Chain A
Amino acid sequence: MSDTAVAAPPAAKHKGPRVKPMRLLLYAFLTVMALAWLVPVGTAVYNSFRYWEADTQPNGAFSLPETLTLDNYRDAWNVGEMAKTFGNTAFIVIPALFFTLLLAAMVAYACTRYSWKFNIAFLVLFTAGNLMPQQVLFQPLFQFFKRMPWPDILSDTDTGSLLGTKIAVILIHVAFQVGFCTFVLSNYMKTIPKEIDEAAAVDGAGVWRRFFKIILPLTRPALAALGTLEFTWLYNDFFWGAVLLNRGDERPITSSIAVLNGQWASDFNLIAAASILIALPTLVVYLILQKQFISGLTLGASKG
């Protein structure tokens, strides 16, 4: 939004050769701010292609490179065991994302389309859940999972209880994220005219049919936006993966960076390479869903 606000005025300015000093100041400020944001990222990308001990450490991060290399990426992938940790993350994030969006959409649908006694109270409860810091619930959840017997057939790791399984991490993610998603989806569904629903009902469509065939497709832009956001949040989680999964080779991708952090000495170029590798999937998801996301914004706008 702010991009368009900044970009629009120059078009109108073409006629006058006069440059306003305030405008110059604005551009100077924006340039400096943009550089301030880009320098850390740029330095990390640049140094991820250099050797640490032989080059960056003695010469400094801003020096010219002695040699450029892809070794850091290969080492980060191998030493961080990223093939496995990516798999672990996919095992956790994909079902968690699916169930979060599905359940949140159901709650949102019920709360926006049907009037019942606890309609508002229910919505408030779900929204209030967002305000709770997740770490506060760590101890009770940990003890609960530890005491909860869990059949081997339903778990990915046989630990005898929920604790130590990726299922536990998925459950926690779904429980915590449903609140925020319900809040967003119910607000969006309120903008979809009730008449569409009623017309379908008159034509004989049942509740499930109206939900899956009419409301969900119309909610697609909101789902895409939420999907992008939620994917990033779940993907970046380190806390639950670290405290609930006791086996190092069960942990999500975020733990790969921790592994690369040496006990005494750290190769920061290696860590930079790992960070870039780990950031890629979120960028890919954003690019894939971006179209939905933007068309969603305009769709809502034109409907008025």
Chain B
Amino acid sequence: MSKTANRLQSLRDSSLSRRNFVIGSGAAAVGGATLLAACGDDDEAAPAATTTAAPATTAAPTTTAAAETGVGTTTLGSNYSDEKPRNALAAAVAATGVDTIINTIDHNTYQENFNTYIQQPDDVVAWFAGYRMRAFASKGVVGDISDVWDNLPGMSDGFRSAASGLDGKQYFVPLYFYPWAVHYRKSVFADNGYSIPTTWDEFKGLCDTMAADGITPLCAANDGRWPQMGMFDMLNMRINGYDFHVSLMGGRENWEDARVQNIFSTWEEILPYYQPDPNGRTWQDAANALGDKSAGMYLIGTFLTSNFDGDTQADIIDDIDFFLFPEVDPAYGQDAIEAPIDGFMMAADPANEEGAKALLAGLGSVAAIDAYLSVDPSVVAANSNADTSGYNALQKKSAEAVGSAKFISQFLDRDTDPDFAANVAGVGIADFLATPGNIGTILADIEAKKQTYTFE
């Protein structure tokens, strides 16, 4: 125990000095950038809660029982490395009242190295819901936190199932989500008299009208080979339904099946409306086409607005709205939506299990997500009791869209074996976009490579 305490003390010292440095430099930077000044404030707020040994000084009455029981210091591994999410998470952790040291690692390295990281993890680790969580749960490297779920008011059954392993136990506490939908500019639709399409034919009709008006109908990016996975998911769920999508992602369906071929033949109908050569375009470049109104619609996550500067491009952000992906087969309507959920897991053998569980319960609480959203309002709370009064129009719409959806998918690279997603399905989709005529060979190739994956 004393060893752990020593370790924690040394970590605390090092993180303290780092924070002081950030505060100092933040204060020095106040000059012009209000953003920097704001984060300086948040950083000052964070250590107050994370470093006080006596919880009595934490003036947060809404926190969980953890604060009173004195569960000691715990550690949290975080991939919230961008400035805003980083400060938002610090605020959320402060709101839990649990004495926590946050270990921030840049999100990309964190995700790529998670296999090695989880062998010497912090007590609580940031991760994703769905298959990507289950893969680690079934290997026994993360801990069962079903007892935390006994006391998580405001979490719907949908989130509970997204947080459950194949054994039915819970391994994950959701924090927030962000839906994928078709984004557009309100002013462009108003000026040209466009109306929101709800069916596939209306959607294609609108694309035709836009093309005639000299607007590229659809923004299209696929650099990194993930953006177009969203289109694949939506088409599959609209054409073949959510159950088939889950089954296909689970490796239980044949990729040469007529139903899969149907996805791509439907997709081919709208390829002429795409920006040319999507494989080489980053999602930001495609977003800029929506920004200068040279393109009309964009299927992407609601993080789209983060591409635009909150100060100088606020007019663009305020002008962005979205609608649900149109119905293709009336049998499924618009019943499914894609909304990746981010949250936290517990290490299999945490140094401070009591503290870890208190922190997880705290992070699932209303107080934590309210604190998070007050700093980073680009996401939507998982907890249904969260304060939605501060939501902007897009957040309100996101919450409604997900709340009314019958099925919620995570995203292709979170719903199946991540390696299969990146190196087989992602490559196949990119090949299809480059040469749609080859789809027969591409699907045969995916099916052949699929055999080398177990999908657990």
Q: Is A264's CB under 8 angstroms from B309's CB?
A: no
Q: Is B318 an interface residue (CB 8 A)?
A: no
Which of B108-116, B254-262, B403-411, B437-445 forms contacts with chain A? B108-116
Q: Is B18's CB under 8 angstroms from A265's CB?
A: no
Determine the chain B residues whose CB is within 8 A of the CB of A266 once the complex forms.
Answer: 284
Residue of B nearest to A246 (CB): B120
Determine the chain B residues whose CB is within 8 A of the CB of A251 once the complex forms.
Answer: 105
- Option from B77, B83, B108, B288 in Cβ contact (under 8 Å) with A261: B108
Q: Is A220 an interface residue (CB 8 A)?
A: no
Instruction: Give the shortest distance, in Å, between A218 (CB) and chain B (any CB).
Output: 44
CA distance A268 to B271 in the complex (A): 30
Instruction: Give the shortest distance, in Å, between A154 (CB) and chain B (any CB).
Output: 14
Q: Is B247 an interface residue (CB 8 A)?
A: no
- Option from B21, B105, B116, B308 in Cβ contact (under 8 Å) with A84: B21
> How many residues of chain A have a CB within 8 Å of chain B?
39
Q: Is A247's CB under 8 angstroms from B83's CB?
A: no
Q: Is B106's CB under 8 angstroms from A248's CB?
A: yes
Contact with A along B264-299 (1 / 0, CB 8 A): 000000000000000000011000100000000000
CA distance A266 to B21 in the complex (A): 24
Q: Is A263's CB under 8 angstroms from B81's CB?
A: yes
A259-B81, A261-B106, A263-B81 given; A71·B33 CB < 8 A: yes
Q: Is A53's CB under 8 angstroms from B22's CB?
A: no
Determine the chain A residues whose CB is within 8 A of the CB of B81 once the complex forms.
Answer: 248, 259, 263
CA distance A249 to B312 in the complex (A): 33
Q: Is B117's CB under 8 angstroms from A246's CB?
A: yes
Within 8 A of A (CB), among B1-54: 3, 6-7, 10-11, 14-15, 18, 21-22, 25-26, 29, 32-33, 36
The SS class assigned to the A binding surface is helix
Q: Is B313's CB under 8 angstroms from A53's CB?
A: yes
Q: Is B15's CB under 8 angstroms from A249's CB?
A: yes
Residue of A nearest to B101 (CB): A247
Q: Is B82's CB under 8 angstroms from A263's CB?
A: yes
Instruction: Give the shortest distance, in Å, between B29 (CB) and chain A (any CB).
Output: 6
Q: Is B121 an interface residue (CB 8 A)?
A: yes
Determine the chain A residues whose CB is within 8 A of the CB of B194 once the complex forms.
Answer: none
Q: Is A78's CB under 8 angstroms from B22's CB?
A: yes
CA distance A58 to B312 in the complex (A): 12
Q: Is B21's CB under 8 angstroms from A81's CB?
A: yes
The SS class assigned to the B binding surface is helix
Within 8 A of B (CB), among A21-77: 53-54, 57-58, 71, 74-75, 77
Determine the chain A residues whose CB is within 8 A of the CB of B6 once the complex forms.
Answer: 152, 158
Q: Is A242's CB under 8 angstroms from B14's CB?
A: no
Instruction: Give the shortest distance, in Å, between B82 (CB) and chain A (any CB).
Output: 5
Q: Is A227 an interface residue (CB 8 A)?
A: no
Residue of A nearest to B378 (CB): A264
Interface centre among B82, B85, B312 (most CB of A within 10 A): B82
CA distance A125 to B151 in the complex (A): 61
Residue of A nearest to B8 (CB): A158
Q: Is B22's CB under 8 angstroms from A81's CB?
A: yes
Q: Is A146 an interface residue (CB 8 A)?
A: yes
Which of A6-14, A159-167, A185-193, A198-206 forms contacts with chain B? A159-167
- Option from B3, B103, B119, B120 in Cβ contact (under 8 Å) with A249: B103
Q: Is A262 an interface residue (CB 8 A)?
A: yes
Q: Is A264's CB under 8 angstroms from B307's CB?
A: yes
Determine the chain A residues whose CB is within 8 A of the CB of B312 once the complex forms.
Answer: 53-54
Q: Is A79 an interface residue (CB 8 A)?
A: yes
CA distance A51 to B120 in the complex (A): 40
Q: Is A57's CB under 8 angstroms from B29's CB?
A: no
Determine the chain B residues whose CB is within 8 A of the CB of A79 once the complex forms.
Answer: 83
Residue of A nearest to B285 (CB): A57
Q: Is B113's CB under 8 angstroms from A242's CB?
A: yes
CA distance A58 to B308 in the complex (A): 11
CA distance A79 to B29 in the complex (A): 11
CA distance A160 to B107 in the complex (A): 26
Instruction: Give the shortest distance, in Å, between A124 (CB) and chain B (any CB).
Output: 33
Q: Is B332 an interface residue (CB 8 A)?
A: no
Q: Is B121's CB under 8 angstroms from A246's CB?
A: yes
Q: Is A100 an interface residue (CB 8 A)?
A: no
Q: Is A78's CB under 8 angstroms from B3's CB?
A: no
Q: Is B138 an interface residue (CB 8 A)?
A: no
Q: Is A211 an interface residue (CB 8 A)?
A: no
Contact with A along B72-91 (1 / 0, CB 8 A): 00000100011101000000
Within 8 A of A (CB), among B92-147: 103-109, 113, 116-117, 119-122
- Option from B77, B113, B306 in Cβ contact (under 8 Å) with A243: B113
Q: Is B189 an interface residue (CB 8 A)?
A: no
Q: Is B120's CB under 8 angstroms from A265's CB?
A: no
Determine the chain A residues whose CB is within 8 A of the CB of B21 once the complex forms.
Answer: 81, 83-84
Determine the chain A residues whose CB is within 8 A of the CB of B33 once the complex forms.
Answer: 71
Determine the chain A residues whose CB is within 8 A of the CB of B121 once the complex forms.
Answer: 246
Within 8 A of A (CB), among B387-419: none
Q: Is B14's CB under 8 angstroms from A255's CB?
A: no
Ranked 6 nearest A-B pairs via Cβ:
A248-B105, A53-B309, A258-B106, A78-B25, A158-B7, A259-B106
8 new A-B contacts, CB < 8 A, other than A75-B36, A81-B22, are A78-B25, A78-B26, A83-B21, A157-B7, A164-B120, A247-B105, A255-B109, A261-B106
**What are 8 inter-chain pairs, A to B, with CB distance below 8 A?**
A74-B25, A78-B22, A78-B26, A157-B7, A160-B7, A163-B119, A263-B82, A265-B306
